[in-house]
Amino acid sequence: MEDLTKAEEKIFSAAKEEFIEKGFDGARMQAIADRAGISKAALHYYYRSKEKLFKKVVNFIFNMVFNSVKQKIEEKLSFEEKVHFIISMYIDTILQHKHMAFFLFSELMKHPQILDELIKKQEKITTLSAAYQAELEKGKIRSIEPRHLILNVVSMCIYPILGSPLIIRILGFSKTEYDAFLQERKEQVFEFVMKSLRP
Amino acid sequence: MEDLTKAEEKIFSAAKEEFIEKGFDGARMQAIADRAGISKAALHYYYRSKEKLFKKVVNFIFNMVFNSVKQKIEEKLSFEEKVHFIISMYIDTILQHKHMAFFLFSELMKHPQILDELIKKQEKITTLSAAYQAELEKGKIRSIEPRHLILNVVSMCIYPILGSPLIIRILGFSKTEYDAFLQERKEQVFEFVMKSLRP
DNA sequence: ATTTGCCTTAACCATCCGGTCAAACCATGT
DNA sequence: ACATGGTTTGACCGGATGGTTAAGGCAAAT
């Protein structure tokens, strides 16, 4: 992101809050202006329309979330360590940006075209599936279709966090209990995956 | 649901479509009236307000989805068969009611209070975790915290479907490819779970 | 034929919302 | 002191939106 003046900064952060809380349809330009402590006219002076402001916010949040997730996985790590690293990182990152992650998921579902503009490449899979291949040939793990493996891991990390408000109510957790439960999951999911991959 | 006149039926089904496509904020009463082929005033005559109509729709869809998911698991099935049954049923049901499931997820996230009115009980867990206990004592599977097991299974079934528009784009599937992939998952997830549960 | 009660509609209302504009504000350079 | 140009604002606009109302239509009951 280019450098922003203080006014632009305040507006942008106000817009992030409003859009994350209310979504595109629910967000109000006046509410964004109020949060930023300026007039609605000034808001339009900086960001000409709701759509443009929204797209900038989505773009920013998308990059923020995906950059934190896409940290380099060090080459020297073993396959097992890589799996463990990916799981921990996914859970920590998504937990940290919970609201943003849900906002992204929700809005991108409604307007999937936005994704097309944002997605360039995604090498994460190859980096893991290469390590998987090597491990497989050493006979240390069983054979499995890599895309299913990836989707299994990602699902077990993301869904319990994305759907937490629902899951909490359905399984009868308290919020603090569920936070602890999600921390446990870092080890639990790792164990679940590695146990499944035994030859 | 009580019996509805033909007019009410048409209106209700029009409302379902509109709300599912646009969500509460995006839905328009006029659009619902148009779909149903009546005037906006007639619409308000039957369902007094947008909120009331919305809640009835949510309630209906919630029951429809959860009732199909909550089919009885026959007692005589073995633990393995039960796991397989749950996975297949989850994937089939959610796949069948894809749009409704996403609508529910999305709207319930924004207004979790609605859930409180809808949730009475949820015995699904006990029915499976009892079978799990028995199997564990026979030494046929390893020990695992049942809530993690359940959440793992549910996540691997739900997330790949809920997030399909995103996943398709990120993993570079076509829609038909992805449909086949999701069918494969019924066996893949089952195998993944059972392999993990080996002692 | 008239009443009764359900249904439908066109017209209308108040409010809200995104966006515009002309005027004012203010710091800087001359 | 004055002009310049970026910044800020209150007032306003057009259109959309949820909701209301008064009047009428229509079919069955009287």
Report whether pLDDT(B103) > 70: yes
Work out the pLDDT band at B92, boundaries 50, 70, 90. Answer: very high
pLDDT at B23: 92
Report the pLDDT averaged over residues B10-20: 93
Report whether pLDDT(A87) > 60: yes
Q: Does domain A1-48 have CATH number 1.10.10.60?
A: yes
**Which residues, at least 6 apart from B111, have a Cβ–Cβ distance to it below 8 Å?**
B24
pLDDT at B129: 77
- Cβ of B112 within 8 Å of Cβ of A165? The answer is yes
CATH number for the B63-197 domain, one of 1.10.238.10, 1.10.357.10, 1.10.10.10, 3.40.50.970? 1.10.357.10
Tell me the pLDDT tens digit for each residue of A142-190: 999 999 999 999 999 999 999 998 899 888 899 999 999 999 999 999 9
Work out the pLDDT band at A126, boundaries 50, 70, 90. Answer: low
Report whether pLDDT(A129) > 80: no
What tokens were used for B138? Answer: 């026979």
Tell me the pLDDT tens digit for each residue of B120-157: 655 555 677 788 888 899 999 999 999 999 999 999 99
Cβ-contact B153, B83 below 8 angstroms: yes
Q: Does domain B6-48 have CATH number 1.10.760.10?
A: no
For A38 and C25, how far is CA from C1' in angstroms? 14
Report the pLDDT averaged over residues B20-31: 94
pLDDT at B158: 95
3-state secondary structure of A145: coil
pLDDT at A125: 57
Report whether pLDDT(A77) > 70: yes
Report the pLDDT averaged over residues A20-36: 94
Report whether pLDDT(A86) > 50: yes
For B38 and C12, how far is CA from C1' in angstroms? 18
Long-range contacts from B35-44, C-beta under 8 angstroms, 24+ separation: B36/B7, B36/B10, B36/B11, B37/B10, B38/B7, B38/B10, B38/B11, B42/B7, B43/B11
- Cβ of B147 within 8 Å of Cβ of A198? The answer is no
Work out the pLDDT band at A35, boundaries 50, 70, 90. Answer: very high
Q: C1' nearest to CA of A30: which nucleotide?
A: C17
* Cβ of residue A183 closer than 8 Å to a chain B Cβ: no
pLDDT at B3: 57
Exposure pattern of A2-24 as b/e (b: 16+ CB <10 Å)?
eeeeeeeebbbebbbbbbbebbb
Report whether pLDDT(A68) > 80: no
Q: What is the dihedral of CA B47, B52, B56, B57, to 10 degrees?
A: 90
pLDDT at A1: 46
Show residues of chain B in contact with A192, CB under 8 Å. 144, 148, 152, 196
The better pLDDT of the pair B77, B52 is held by B52
The dotted CATH code for A56-197 is 1.10.357.10
Q: Give the separation between CA B188 and CA A196, rounded to whole angstroms.
A: 11
Protein-proximal positions, strand D, CB < 7 A: 7-11, 16-22
For CA atoms B133, B136, B141, B144, the dihedral sign is positive
Report whether pLDDT(B1) > 50: no
pLDDT at B170: 83
pLDDT at A41: 95
Work out the pLDDT band at B68, boundaries 50, 70, 90. Answer: confident
pLDDT at B70: 72
Q: Determine the distance from the C-alpha atom of residue A82 to the mean position of all C-alpha atoms in its chain, rounded to a whole number.
A: 19
Report whether pLDDT(A120) > 80: no
Protein-proximal positions, strand C, CB < 7 A: 7-11, 16-22
Mean pLDDT of chain B: 87
Lowest mean pLDDT among A3-7, B75-79, B97-101: A3-7
* Cβ of residue B147 closer than 8 Å to a chain A Cβ: yes
The domain ranges of chain A are 1-48, 56-197
Comparing alpha-carbon positions, the chain A residue that sits nearest to B126 is A171
pLDDT at A123: 54
Show residues of chain B in contact with A23, CB under 8 Å. 23, 25, 110
Report whether pLDDT(B4) > 90: no
